[in-house]
């Protein structure tokens, strides 16, 4: 699976991801890690700061053996960037074709993260940090996917998935209309989204929530010891549709004031083994 989206949404209040925590890496909780980041609740922060967040995990927690799920042809880092950061990065995808188009120099691993047989003995506990961007919404069995992530992680390792969340209107619409129709709509609104450069994959939105009350029992149930959800509001899917854009923005402002997690647009789902 390749990432489904690479848009940068205009940002309000980006906070730099700099500094060193006073807590030893082994005692740094996910909540305190993100408290220092001071995320902006608008989704522009999520897009602009996902890579700096991964870099901060490397620097502050010493997580250096990375696996990108669904990185395919477009991993988060180039090889020189990974080398400068001091990490080894394995790029995963379900598609051999996507991995053939991946940049040269990375180790690759072709398997389905939601396959119950994906975690072989040689893959267990090999990674300190496993991350994905716009991938888990395409996974049919997210519980199994997270169970596999937990097995792939070394003790103390962290998994983070950047996902779109229900029940934001664009994703409800995407679920409601046939895939052939939704693909045409995406290509109309985003001409750069071609099958060759940035294809659209069917989305299932299994466990695609930002409400920790829903996600924590599932993630702890598959063996994670620390769970943290970072919710984000707002999207740009209606940017070219003036009336719908204004109506959706009004609803978003109301959802922010009342902390309606059912109307977030994105989330970082983070879990530590």
Structure tokens at 213: 């009350």
User: In this structure, is the dihedral angle defined by the CA atoms of residues 160, 13, 43 and 98, taken in order, positive or negative?
Assistant: negative
pTM of the model: 0.85
Res. 24: pLDDT tops 60: no
Domain 25-272 has CATH 2.60.40.420: no
Residue 88: predicted pLDDT: 97
Categorize the per-residue pLDDT at 189 as very low, low, confident or very high, splitting at 50, 70 and 90: low
Res. 230: pLDDT tops 70: yes
Please state, in angstroms and rounded to a whole number, the distance separating the CA atoms of residues 26 and 10: 35
Q: Domain boundaries in the chain? A: 25-272
Please state, in angstroms and rounded to a whole number, the distance separating the CA atoms of residues 85 and 243: 45
Q: With the CA atoms of 107, 113, 119 and 123 taken in that order, what torsion angle do they form, in degrees rounded to the nearest 10?
A: 20
Rounded mean pLDDT, 177-202: 62
Instruction: Give pLDDT tens digits for 93-147.
Output: 999 999 999 999 999 999 999 999 999 999 999 999 999 999 999 999 999 999 9
Residue 178: predicted pLDDT: 67
Please state, in angstroms and rounded to a whole number, the distance separating the CA atoms of residues 84 and 272: 25
What 104-112 contacts at long range (C-beta under 8 Å, 24+ apart), as own/partner pairs, is: 104/79, 105/79, 106/75, 106/79, 106/82, 109/67
28 in helix, strand or coil?
A: coil
């Amino acid at each position: 699976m390749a990432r489904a989206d690479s848009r940068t949404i205009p940002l309000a209040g980006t906070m730099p991801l700099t500094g060193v925590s006073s807590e030893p890496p082994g005692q740094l909780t996910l909540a305190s890690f993100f408290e220092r980041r001071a995320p902006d609740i608008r989704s522009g922060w999520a897009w602009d700061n996902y890579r700096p967040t991964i870099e901060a995990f490397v620097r502050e927690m010493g997580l250096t053996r990375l696996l990108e799920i669904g990185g395919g042809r477009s991993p988060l880092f180039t090889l020189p960037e990974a080398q400068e950061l001091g990490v080894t990065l394995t790029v995963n995808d379900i598609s051999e074709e996507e991995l053939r188009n991946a940049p040269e120099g990375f180790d690759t691993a072709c398997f389905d993260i939601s396959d119950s047989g994906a975690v072989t003995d040689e893959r267990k506990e090999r990674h300190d940090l496993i991350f994905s961007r716009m991938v888990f919404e395409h996974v049919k069995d997210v519980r199994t996917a997270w169970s596999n992530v937990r097995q792939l992680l070394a003790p103390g390792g962290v998994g983070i998935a950047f996902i779109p969340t229900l029940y934001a209107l664009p994703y409800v619409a995407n679920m409601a209309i046939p895939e052939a129709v939704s693909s045409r709509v995406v290509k109309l609104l985003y001409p750069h989204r071609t099958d060759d450069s940035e294809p659209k994959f069917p989305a299932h939105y299994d466990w695609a929530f930002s409400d920790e009350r829903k996600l924590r029992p599932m993630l702890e149930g598959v063996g994670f010891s620390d769970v943290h959800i970072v919710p984000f509001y707002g999207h740009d899917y209606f940017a070219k549709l003036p009336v719908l854009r204004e109506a959706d923005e009004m609803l978003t402002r109301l959802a922010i004031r009342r902390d309606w997690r059912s109307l977030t647009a994105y989330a970082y789902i983070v879990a530590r083994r």
